[in-house]
Amino acid sequence: MAITPRQKLLVQESFKLVEPIAEQAAGLFYQTLFTYDPSLKPLFKSDLKSQGKKLMMTLKVAVKGLDDLDALVPVLQQLAARHVDYGVKASHFTPVGNALLYTLKQGLGEKWNPELRQAWVDTFRVVATVMKAHSFSH
């Protein structure tokens, strides 16, 4: 499972368009996530504004890290270990991925198309696979 150079470029270029609206995007992400799975809300102990900033920083690191997946793997493994401590389970990746796709679709508007969606799906799959393989065995 991998992403193509074109998919990497699509994800990186589209994320640049989301960065200026990062705060609104993060707010929409959490609102959507809790609509998809209300049971996740108690996992978020800090205020959602600071949580949103962490989310967008993490996404930025992951998107930039697509240039060197080997270097990104240990970063994702550390992230996975922290998320296990927060009570995150492997089953939570599906609503998170769906909320991310919805947020990107809303934020990118007419630039969102099937090719870009697939690039993000494949990228999220790679990230989730690495994270789940490291820390989420159930």
CATH of the domain at 107: 1.10.490.10
Q: Rounded distance, CA 136 to CA 24, Å?
A: 30
What local confidence, expressed as pLDDT, does residue 118 receive?
97
Q: Rounded distance, CA 2 to CA 97, Å?
A: 17
Q: What is the dihedral of CA 16, 22, 28, 29, to 10 degrees?
A: 70
Instruction: For the chain, give the percent of residues with pLDDT over 70.
Output: 97
Contacts of 86 (CB under 8 A, 6+ apart): 43
Domain range holding 117?
5-135
Q: What is the DSSP string of 85-98?
A: HHT--GGGHHHHHH
- Name the pLDDT band for 105 (thresholds 50, 70, 90): very high
Neighbouring C-beta atoms of residue 74, cutoff 10 Å: 11
- Name the pLDDT band for 83 (thresholds 50, 70, 90): confident
What local confidence, expressed as pLDDT, does residue 136 receive?
66
Instruction: For the chain, give the percent of residues with pLDDT over 90.
Output: 72
Q: What is the dihedral of CA 10, 11, 15, 16, to 10 degrees?
A: -40
- Name the pLDDT band for 66 (thresholds 50, 70, 90): very high
- Name the pLDDT band for 1 (thresholds 50, 70, 90): low
Query: Is residue 53's pLDDT more than 90?
Result: yes
> What is the domain count for the chain?
1
- Name the pLDDT band for 138 (thresholds 50, 70, 90): very low
